[in-house]
Amino acid sequence: MSPPAHPTILLIQGSFQRPDVYSPFVKLLESRGFGVVQPELPSLTGQDQPDFPQKTLADDSAVIEAALQRLVQDEAKKVVVVMHSYGGLVGAEAVPEELTLSSREHRGLLAGGVAHFIYVAAFVMPPGQSIGAAMRDSPNHTIEDGRIRMLDPRALIYNDLPPEEAASLVDRMTVQSAGVLDTVLTRCAYSYVPSTYVVCTADPALPPPVQERFAQAAGSEVKNIAAGHSPMLSKPEQLANIIVEISEGV
């Protein structure tokens, strides 16, 4: 009898980085036998479009929910959702309880469903809140013409990368729609999806004590990695090992 297929990994990116920054890490996970889906988020693509500043976290979540509907409802796949940074808010907003593995099994449906969340230095907030106050008051960002730009990404999110690699990544940074600031969260999918929080212990952008509070709020099991805010770049093998171990156990 052949072993059961690996879950599919749905990856939700963080802010200010182009989707292809994650491509080497996606290929690494694929080389370990996992299918990986990384939908592009409206608030981080199409920056030249006139309606870009109005793109919201709700728009991002709708894209993720549509991808999950296809994977779960149409393809009956078991899914592990990996969320980096801002992606933690998108994922928790995007997953209705009826798409979870436990709910589908309870209802006697076919195989498939969202089985686990993996937060990687990711935000966790309850329904009724938005990220607006935190982002607007932060000294790490500017907001102009409906676009949010990170200041000093070299120090904040690429602090543990070689200087040349960090400089290249800084040159490829992008802006995010300011519309994400005003989206009021309506779901806390972490209340019905089991989760693991990967705390990045050398992260100046989201300090470890803050990550630990987020992990507690989500009820997550905690794993640590000695990395800055972007471990998929600075510690890809170690992060992949964590994701593979968790995913093989769901």
Concatenate the DSSP letters of all residues of 64-80 into one string: HHHHHIIIIIIT--EEE
Which residues lie below 8 Å from residue 97, measured CB to CB, with a gap of 6+? 103, 189, 192
pLDDT band at 2 (very low <50, low <70, confident <90, very high): very low
Look at residue 172 and tell me whether its pLDDT is greater than 50: yes
Q: Are 222 and 120 in contact (CB under 8 A)?
A: no
Q: Are 88 and 119 in contact (CB under 8 A)?
A: yes
- pLDDT at res. 3: 54
- pLDDT at res. 133: 67
pLDDT digits (tens, 9 = 90+) for 208-217: 999 999 999 9
pLDDT digits (tens, 9 = 90+) for 28-64: 999 999 999 999 999 999 999 999 999 999 999 999 9
Q: Residue 29: left if φ>0, alpha if ψ -120 to 50, beta else—which one?
A: alpha
pLDDT digits (tens, 9 = 90+) for 110-136: 789 999 999 999 999 999 999 886 677
pLDDT digits (tens, 9 = 90+) for 62-118: 999 999 999 999 999 999 999 999 999 999 999 999 999 999 988 886 789 999 999
